[in-house]
Chain A
Amino acid sequence: MIGLYVPGSTLVHRAPALAKLGLLAVTIAVITVLQEPWQLAAAVGGVGVLFLAARIPPRMVWRHVVPILWLLAIAVPVQALFAGWTAALMMGGRVAASVALAALFTLTTTVSSVLDACQQLLRPFRRWVDGDRVGLLLALTIRCVPLTAEIVREVIEARRARGATGSLTALAVPVIVRSLQSAEALGEALVARGLDD
């Protein structure tokens, strides 16, 4: 999602976001309760096939998989000490398959289709919540991640240029001030773009 989307037109990309989200939830639940190693092996194989079907470049797969491997490299041996290698490897396989599936979802689904899915999900509750507003809130939250990262980066640079490293106040004050200014400007731009309709 957050700039991770890999454009494509495969079936995995085109499937409705709501269906993908539902399948993701169900599959992860099933993976969690699998007992037999061969079942899990099949599940891991299935996830692999989905990655191939979505034509995700190996570089992207690698980027998403490596952090989990680090975690598992520590967690699996520790688990093995307590529960034996079979159980530990099963646990590792479950985590890896679930995280990979979630990653596949973010790699093949645009934010706007997730927002649409959100609005569909909330439609039955429209008397209490405005799905459009919730969707927009999510979009803005996602949008604020790079915006805030940029502000923090600039402030750190400016602080370094003035030799004021180390002071937390010298970081927090300008970051908060700039974030509030950006928020105000963003609000004004939203009105200009017809958000009050």
Chain B
Amino acid sequence: MSVIEFSRVEHSYGERPVLRGVDLVLGEGRIGIVGANGSGKSTLARMINGLVTPDLGTVTVDGLDVTRQGREVRRRVGFVFTNPDNQIVMPTVSEDVAFTLRKSGLSKPDVAKRVASTLERFGLAAHAEHPAHRLSGGQKQLLALASVLVAEPSVVVADEPTTLLDARNARLIGQMLSSLEQQVVVVTHQLELLDGFDRVVVIDEGRIVADDTPDAALGAYRSLIA
């Protein structure tokens, strides 16, 4: 497992403080982040791979500073967005997965092999040559996940990966995330996604207000938003 460490992190967009004095050490395999709309969850999640950098304080992944060593960090940390349409870059399914490996130094046949086995694992093998934009919403999110995992990151961060999906596809993506050997950090409003997680962090107005086992933390969260 990797270790993600937030140390006295502050962040504002303009005048507006979004994260205030966040201290966290995340070393568990399955970590959930919950909180009301606008509480700062996405900002926190984006910091783990340096898409947003802290104004004050530091964020590190296995000791690598996201501000100064963003590239190295992003090689370890894969990120799944809410809307897979924004994450899919290439026209066909297999090309999109291969896109992740274009700078990997692997030979063409090796890339093809890795892509094929990844598509197999995500149930997309039959769609390998199909246009990515014609997939269903659930398949698109599977593709986004496949394109992230083909690079074999050690951490996967997902920001509301099931928000746009129906219940069945949400479950499917949830199961996929649970089955990963990687460390997984999930931001979500769909609390059932966090079943079986090791730890849940509750954030409110940019502060951590609960950090516990899922049962305890979600209890605190429910009374917070009640």
Interface positions of A (Cβ within 8 A of B):
1-3, 5, 7, 110-112, 139-140, 142-143, 146-147, 150, 182, 185-186, 188-194, 196-197
Contacts and interface: CB of A to CB of B under 8 A. Distances in A.
Given A5-B129, A146-B131, A188-B51, A194 B75 contact: yes
Nearest to A185: B86
Interface in B71-115: 71, 74-75, 78-79, 81, 83, 85-92, 95, 98-100, 103
A112 B129 CA distance: 12
B89 A111 contact: no
Given A192-B74, A194-B151, A146 B133 contact: yes
Interface residues of B, number: 30
Given A3-B133, A146-B133, A185-B81, A139 B103 contact: no
B141 interface: no
Given A3-B133, A112-B98, A146-B131, A193 B89 contact: yes
A2 B49 CA distance: 32
Nearest to B129: A7
B103 A194 contact: yes
B133 A193 contact: no
28 contacts: A1-B91, A2-B91, A5-B92, A111-B92, A112-B98, A139-B89, A139-B90, A139-B91, A140-B89, A147-B85, A150-B85, A185-B81, A185-B83, A186-B86, A188-B81, A188-B86, A191-B51, A192-B79, A193-B89, A193-B147, A193-B148, A194-B71, A194-B74, A194-B75, A194-B100, A194-B103, A196-B70, A196-B74
Nearest to B100: A193
B90 A143 contact: yes
Contact of A150 (B129, B133, B151): B133
Contacts of A196: 70-71, 74
Which secondary structure characterizes the binding site on chain A? Answer: helix
Given A3-B131, A189-B89, A192-B87, 6 more contacts: A111-B90, A146-B133, A185-B86, A189-B81, A196-B70, A197-B71
Contacts of B88: 143
A146 B88 CA distance: 12
Contact of B95 (A111, A186, A193, A197): A111
Q: Select the residue from A143, A146, A189 with max chain B CB neighbours within 10 A.
A: A189
Given A146-B131, A185-B83, A188-B51, A193 B91 contact: no
Interface in B131-164: 131, 133-134, 147-148, 151
A182 B79 CA distance: 17
A140 B81 CA distance: 18
Contacts of A182: 85-86
Contacts of A189: 79, 81, 86-87, 89
Contacts of B51: 188, 191-192
Nearest to A136: B89
A75 B98 CA distance: 44
Nearest to B86: A185
A139 B70 CA distance: 25
A189 B140 CA distance: 14
Shortest beta-carbon contacts, A-B, top 5: A3-B131, A185-B86, A146-B133, A7-B129, A192-B79
Contacts of B74: 191-192, 194, 196
Contacts of A3: 91-92, 131, 133-134
